[in-house]
Structure 1
Amino acid sequence: MSEKETIKDEPTASQEQELTENVKEQETNASPEADQSKEEKLQLEVEDLKDKYLRLYSEFENYRRRTSKERLDLIKTASEDLIKEILPILDDFERAFKASEKEDDAAKVREGHELVFHKLVKTLENKGVKVMENLIGNPFDADTQEAITQIPAPTEDMKGKVIDVVEKGYTLGEKVIRFAKVVTGS
């Protein structure tokens, strides 16, 4: 090879300068786009992570509130089974009082029974148990009462209303633990 051929293969100074300018131009043009796309990708990723975090946080808060409410409800009604078993004893006391009203010699025994009965009632009231009262004459409510039977109403205005209470109903807090058994008018 001759020197002229080697010189032709090698770029001239002006060609080198053009090449370096083109490379620099391409780098500067490509670099902001690449940087922007990287920044945009990172920004989108940050927004996505923030969204996931907020959703997870709100789900946790809802879970915490729900479990707290369930825990309070459980505490309020924890003794429900025991109270349900005690309610028939109250009924027996009331029946005993009605039976002993006719006997004069059992006045002292009746007084003792009444003391025990009232103490038991007070204890249950302190635990949140309430008797459903003033049912006679009011409209039948299927949410709190159970109709045992229907009898012809003594008056026209007593139709669909409670005529007699066979067994008292009880609530524990806002929850019905025993429905009142009633007789309704038809």
Structure 2
Amino acid sequence: MKDKDQTLENEQEARETTEETGTASQTEETPEEKDGGVGEEPQTEKKGFFGKKKDKKDKKDIQIEELTDKLKRQMAEFDNFRKRTEKEKASMFEVGARSVVEKILPIVDNFERGLGSVSEDQKEDPFVAGMEKIYQQFLAVFEELGVKPIEAVGQEFDPNFHNAVMHVEDEEAGENQVVEEFQKGYTYRDTVVRHSMVKVAN
């Protein structure tokens, strides 16, 4: 009888042990559960619109920058070309205008010589009056074009504007002073077209 009771007690203890073991197994967390659950994906790096990492510029952005730089260079080159062309055009015009002025100057010289030889009695003559008007028209056109006569008599000799063809001793005049002008000189827009032909005192 005692053996039977002992057997029943052993079976009861075995069942209790089994139940405790099962309960502990259910309540114990797995490594995956401790780490945040099974199947949870780790955090990933931010990606661009097409799934590529946005740590570098896109090819499209690079191409836009290259085209923009190329366009700026071409615009700068065109602007320089335009300025150079305008400068060359202005220079050619200046050369052409100066050439025309040089050819007209002898005509103006002849008018001055002719009018200078007219006596006081002849100045009222209609022919002389007509020549005077034409001469004044030449001077007006010269002024509009920027052609100006060079000051000579009474001025200090300046080789940039005067051409000394004669020297004279003159106590009344200052040293190196222009005392007479043989041919009038002219400038065109600050450029000498013809030097004044003068006599200079020593």
Give the TM-score category using the shorter length. Answer: 0.5 to 0.7
- Cα pair distance change 1:95/1:61, threshold 3 Å: same
Of 103, 109, 125, the match for 1:91: 109
Deviation at 1:66, TM superposition (A): 3.6
- Measured in 1, the distance between the counterparts of 2:116 and 2:81 equals 52
Which residue of 1 is the match for residue 157 of structure 2?
A: 140
- Measured in 1, the distance between the counterparts of 2:107 and 2:119 equals 19
> How does 1:110-121 map onto structure 2 within 5 Å?
110-121=128-139
> How does 1:55-94 map onto structure 2 within 5 Å?
62=80, 64-94=82-112
Deviation at 1:153, TM superposition (A): 2.3
**C-alpha offsets along residues 146-172 of structure 1, whole Å, 9 cap, x if unaligned?**
1111111232x5111111111111111
Pairing 1:161–2:177 present: yes
Opposite residue 175 of structure 2, the aligned amino acid is K
Q: Conserved in 2, the CA contact under 8 Å of 1:77 and 1:172?
A: no
Unaligned runs of 5+ in 1: 1-51
Unaligned runs of 5+ in 2: 1-69
SS of match in other structure, 1:164: strand
- Measured in 2, the distance between the counterparts of 1:153 and 1:122 equals 36
Deviation at 1:53, TM superposition (A): 10
- Cα pair distance change 1:130/1:106, threshold 3 Å: closer
Identity of aligned residues (%): 29
**Larger radius of gyration, structure 1 or 2?**
2
The more displaced of 85-94 and 75-84 is 75-84
| Larger RCO, structure (CA 8 Å, separation 6 or more) | 1
- Cα pair distance change 1:138/1:106, threshold 3 Å: closer
TM-score by length of 1: 0.61
Opposite residue 161 of structure 2, the aligned amino acid is T
- Measured in 1, the distance between the counterparts of 2:198 and 2:135 equals 23
- Measured in 2, the distance between the counterparts of 1:120 and 1:153 equals 35
SS of match in other structure, 2:159: coil
Query: How large is the Cα RMSD of the aligned pairs?
Result: 3.4
Deviation at 1:184, TM superposition (A): 0.5
- Measured in 2, the distance between the counterparts of 1:162 and 1:105 equals 31
Opposite residue 119 of structure 2, the aligned amino acid is E
- Structure number with the higher helix fraction is 1
Opposite residue 141 of structure 2, the aligned amino acid is T
Kindly report structure 1 stretches of 4+ aligned residues shifted beyond 4 Å.
52-64
Deviation at 1:61, TM superposition (A): 5.3
- Measured in 1, the distance between the counterparts of 2:123 and 2:177 equals 37
SS of match in other structure, 1:159: coil
The more displaced of 84-93 and 72-81 is 72-81
Deviation at 1:85, TM superposition (A): 1.3
